[in-house]
Homo-oligomer: A and B are copies of this chain.
Amino acid sequence: MEEKQDCQCDGDKGCNCESEKNGCNCDEEKAGCNCEDEKNDAHSGDSKKGIKKLTINNFSSVKNVIAIMSGKGGVGKSSVTSLLASGFRKRGFEVGVLDADLTGPSVPKMFGIKGMAKGNDFGILASESSTGIKVMSINLLVPREDDPVIWRGPILANTVKQFWTDVIWGDLDYLFVDLPPGTGDVPLTVMQSIPLDGLVIVTSPQELAVMIVNKAIKMAKQLDIPILGLIENMSSAVCPKCGEEFQLFGPGHSKEISDRFCIPFLGSMPVDPFLAKLCDHGKVEEYYHNLFINFIPDRFVGSRKNQDKSDNER
């Protein structure tokens, strides 16, 4: 393997793009680097891995689909998903949330949506939050919110596909997909079968989280999903007595991740007991954080609305 002096690529598939820009030509980098691939448009409908994307039903039209992923659990993926959805809704967009975390679904509770989803002859109707955000989650299809869904991967994967093909979403500008932790069946199916426009990666400051978030990023790169940016959650906490802001888990590593994989760093969030309280009380839409108002892939809107629906695979 010929490798130039300035190459920082360690030979894995998530290579350091800077090195490539600098002229790195080790074989692994050529094989695995996705810098060019990231520029491709996910709208094409076909996955490069040969699996055709599913087309949505005739009663729905979704302009942009953005998945939220972390690899590691408990870093606040569902909060970030809900806050992104709320932020976009506040800006006047039509927004939906597809809760793909079937064995740990949090979204309906955060939005205060209770009761089971309704259906009609044409499909399942997405439920609606108080500000008009459409939501579909397995917890809207089971009688009790704490009933477990003890299913194996293929069933989980098919259910998520149905959340795309069989749910009547109506006209949406943005659909946010809350992925479960890990790199197993459901994230794989979402990335292969739903025409994603991009991924937002959520991490937390622990080094352990970084290792696992790196796995998620490498998976996204292998599957040619553009990564829109990185959000660091739980960066700090604020003492309610003296007001001191301190690091809960030590210093963050977002810059390191963002540099290594050429991902824009979108910002960081502290642990906020007020947000936890709002989520617990179904009022996540009342929270305000600058990060989620200013996060903007405006360039996206509008591309998928009139796509050909003739080859729906469901």
User: Is A50 an interface position by the 8 A CB rule?
Assistant: no
A103 near B215: Cβ-Cβ < 8 Å: yes
Q: DSSP class of A's interface residues: helix, strand, loop or mixed? A: loop
Contact with B along A179-190 (1 / 0, CB 8 A): 011111100100
Please give the distance in Å from A88's CB to the nearest CB on chain B: 22
B242 near A208: Cβ-Cβ < 8 Å: no
Closest to A145 in B: B211
User: Is A148 an interface position by the 8 A CB rule?
Assistant: yes
CA–CA, A311 and B158, complex, Å: 35
User: Is A106 an interface position by the 8 A CB rule?
Assistant: yes
Q: Which of A36-44, A57-65, A69-77, A291-299 contacts B (4 or more CB under 8 A)?
A: A69-77
Chain A count of residues within 8 A CB distance of the other chain: 68
**Those of A153-189 within 8 Å (CB) of chain B:** 153-154, 156-157, 180-185, 188
Q: Which of A18-26, A113-121, A272-280 contacts B (4 or more CB under 8 A)?
A: A272-280
- Please name all residues of chain B whose beta carbon is closer than 8 Å to the beta carbon of A182 when the two chains form the complex: 101-104, 180-181
Q: Which of A123-131, A246-254, A300-308 contacts B (4 or more CB under 8 A)?
A: A246-254
- Please name all residues of chain B whose beta carbon is closer than 8 Å to the beta carbon of A105 when the two chains form the complex: 212
B150 near A153: Cβ-Cβ < 8 Å: no
A244 near B240: Cβ-Cβ < 8 Å: yes
**Those of A182-219 within 8 Å (CB) of chain B:** 182-185, 188, 204, 206-208, 211-212, 214-216, 218-219
13 intermolecular pairs with C-beta atoms under 8 Å apart: A103-B182, A104-B182, A106-B208, A106-B212, A110-B208, A145-B211, A146-B211, A148-B222, A150-B183, A152-B184, A153-B185, A239-B242, A241-B246
For the A-B complex with A72-B104, A103-B181, A242-B242 known, give 18 more contacts whose Cβ atoms are closer than 8 Å. Answer: A73-B74, A74-B74, A103-B184, A103-B215, A106-B208, A109-B207, A145-B211, A146-B211, A146-B215, A152-B153, A152-B188, A185-B185, A239-B241, A239-B246, A241-B244, A248-B273, A249-B271, A250-B276
